[in-house]
Amino acid sequence: MTGVPAVVLLSGGLDSATVLALAHAEGHDCHALSFDYGQRHSVELQAARAVAEAHGAASHRIAGIDLNAFGGSALTDPDIDVPQAPEAGIPVTYVPARNTIFLSYALALAEVLEADDIYIGVNAVDYSGYPDCRPEFIDSFQRMANLATKRGVEGYHLHVHTPLIGWSKAEIIRCGGQLGVDYAATVSCYQPDAEGRACGVCDACRLRRQGFEHAGLADPTRYQSADVSRAG
Amino acid sequence: MTGVPAVVLLSGGLDSATVLALAHAEGHDCHALSFDYGQRHSVELQAARAVAEAHGAASHRIAGIDLNAFGGSALTDPDIDVPQAPEAGIPVTYVPARNTIFLSYALALAEVLEADDIYIGVNAVDYSGYPDCRPEFIDSFQRMANLATKRGVEGYHLHVHTPLIGWSKAEIIRCGGQLGVDYAATVSCYQPDAEGRACGVCDACRLRRQGFEHAGLADPTRYQSADVSRAG
């Protein structure tokens, strides 16, 4: 490892796997950071491990964080159902302040590693309903981050990279395909089964399946029902 | 409880106990939030519980967070000694991105509780060496926070209150004294013993002891050695 260190937020999903491959291709020593936040789909952490290994991450940390105690999202609160169809406005799968918390941890790790680059796979096209996926949020976080740390005070400039922010799912998949990302190892579904197989009907599954269609590539996703993979 | 809800970050130290008393006096229903972040001085969490109860907090949550995995501070890394004398520049007791992480959790809780007020006991006078205790950091965090959340998108305005930011320790102690804060229940020391008694020699102890002197009030702190309390 002789590259410049970067912290890469890695969920185990399609987007963050692509971001890791991109940061690696740009010559960074990538320190992957995942979170165990009581998400229903903890198989995504197994996916994150596989992806980190496949893309030669310099290190991979899984930080346990306590979002369950707060509730307020279908992804962490067992009393809220995961929707099976697109919603108007901000989805109930939105986890309050999630990206703010994730980026804050990434900032702490960057400070310790003396890294000035954080990569996050937010996307403002498919996830336009999430306030913390918007460019103005990321810009504002970056400004705050440079005031928050010892390294910022010392004159270094932290950069939050969001290479996917304006891309369609098809563009993300085509890029990842060229970089050799094994999307079969990734999990996007909000309610996968214990083997990591996708439901095929939640918002995340729908967007992902359409992405492969629009990219003109075969969908390697493992679905719980063969009907879904044929549904197109 | 009929007041306006507020999230109050509560460490169990002198400053945050005063902030809780202030927010309560301003008529807020105070939801206290503490962190178990592997700090050496976990007796401060017992102090936080006592303080939350004494000041009628509407709720008190302790979120477990994983800063140990990152290291980089004398407060969380057992390989770094706690200094016994003032340091130049940014102290080794600085925990990377700590206030950013704490405020991010407070933001998540505020979103869930539909609260628009967060109180934090940062102080830019005694802790001028900490980048994340400066007014420009707090202002920047507040701007970011209002872009980060559903509530911000809906037009509500989150306010991060830092009532102590420009106060001397003596001013904080005088204010808390008037509000009936029992400072004997609070722990400021970086290396207290298992009973919560203060070392009397670390930076935090030194600042606290001087605060009581300058306020002209008796210091109720329980010290490990009688010599310290007499040292003045």
Q: What is the per-residue pLDDT across B84-104, written as a single tens digit (0 to 9) for each?
A: 555 555 555 567 888 999 999
pLDDT at B75: 47
pLDDT at A38 exceeding the cut of 90: no
Tokens 């509000």 belong to residue: B179
Would you say residue A102 lies in a domain? yes
Confidence class for position B2, pLDDT limits 50, 70, 90: low
Cα–Cα distance list, A196 to A94, A207, B16, B41 (Å): 21, 17, 44, 40
Structure confidence at residue A172 (pLDDT): 97
Instruction: With respect to residue A168, please indicate whether it lies within any of the assigned structural domains.
Output: yes
Confidence (pLDDT) at B39:
64
Residue A160, pLDDT > 90, answer: yes
Q: Please state the domain count of chain A.
A: 1
More confidently predicted of B70 and A62: A62
B45, B95, B100, best to mutate vs chain A, most A CBs in 10 Å: B100
pLDDT at A44: 84
pTM of this structure:
0.88
Q: In this predicted structure, what is the pLDDT of residue B89? A: 56
Q: Residues B144-154: what's their mean pLDDT?
A: 93
Q: How far is B104 from chain A (nearest CA, A)?
A: 5
What pLDDT is stored for residue B228 in this prediction? Answer: 65
CB count within 10 Å of CB A56 equals 12
Q: Which of residues 47-86 of B touch A (CB under 8 A)?
A: 61, 63-67, 69-72
pLDDT above 70: residue A123: yes
Comparing alpha-carbon positions, the chain B residue that sits nearest to A91 is: B150
DSSP per-residue codes, chain A: --SEEEEEE--SSHHHHHHHHHHHHTTEEEEEEEEE---S-THHHHHHHHHHHHTT-SEEEEEE---TTT--STTT-TTSPPPSS--SSS-TTPPTTHHHHHHHHHHHHHHHHT--EEE----TTTTTT-GGGSHHHHHHHHHHHHHHSHHHHTT---EEE-TTTT--HHHHHHHHHHTT--GGG----SS--TT--B-S-SHHHHHHHHHHHHHT----PPBSSHHHHHH-
Residues of chain A with Cβ-Cβ distance to B100 below 8 Å are 104, 107-108, 144-145, 148
Average pLDDT, integer, range A37-66: 85
A-B Cβ pairs (cutoff 8 Å, strict): 138
Q: Is residue B187 part of a domain?
A: no
**Does residue B230 form part of some domain?**
no
**Do the chains contact at A111 and B96, CB–CB below 8 Å?**
yes
pLDDT of residue B191: 84
Read off the tokens for A199.
């439901």
* Pick from B66, B72, B111: CB nearest A97: B111
A91, pLDDT greater than 70: no
B192 inside domain:
no
Decide if B197 touches A, using CB distance below 8 A.
no
Does residue B137 have a pLDDT over 80?
yes
CATH number of the domain where residue A40 is located? 3.40.50.620
Q: Is the pLDDT of residue A86 over 60?
A: no
Its domain, for residue A132, covers 4-182
Residue A219 belongs to a domain: no
- pLDDT tens by residue, A63-82: 887 766 665 554 455 454 54
Lowest mean pLDDT among A136-150, A161-175, A190-204: A190-204
Per-residue confidence (pLDDT) for residue A232, from 0 to 100: 46
Going by pLDDT thresholds of 50, 70 and 90, the confidence category of residue B3 is confident
- The distance of Cα A191 from the centroid of its chain, to the nearest Å, equals 16
* pLDDT, greater one: A124 or B218: B218
pLDDT on residue A118: 98
The mean pLDDT of chain A is 86
**Is pLDDT larger for residue B73 or for residue B128?**
B128
Condensed to tens digits (0 to 9), the pLDDT of residues A192-221 reads 888 889 999 988 899 899 999 999 999 999
Which of chain A's residues have a Cβ under 8 Å away from the Cβ of B98? Answer: 108
Indicate the pLDDT class of residue B33, thresholds 50, 70 and 90.
very high
- Tokens at residue B181, please? 């804060």
The predicted structure's pLDDT at residue B232: 46
Which residue in the set A65, A100, A108 is minimally distant from B70, CB to CB? A108
Q: Which residues in chain A have Cβ-Cβ distances shorter than 8 Å to B145?
A: 100
When mean pLDDT is compared across A17-26, A41-50, A102-111, B211-220, the lowest value belongs to: A41-50
Give the type of residue at A62: I
Please check the confidence at residue B82 and state whether its pLDDT lies above 90: no
What pLDDT sits at residue B145?
97
Top pLDDT among A1 and B220 is at B220
Strand order in the sheet with A59-64: A59-64, A28-36, A4-9, A117-119, A159-161
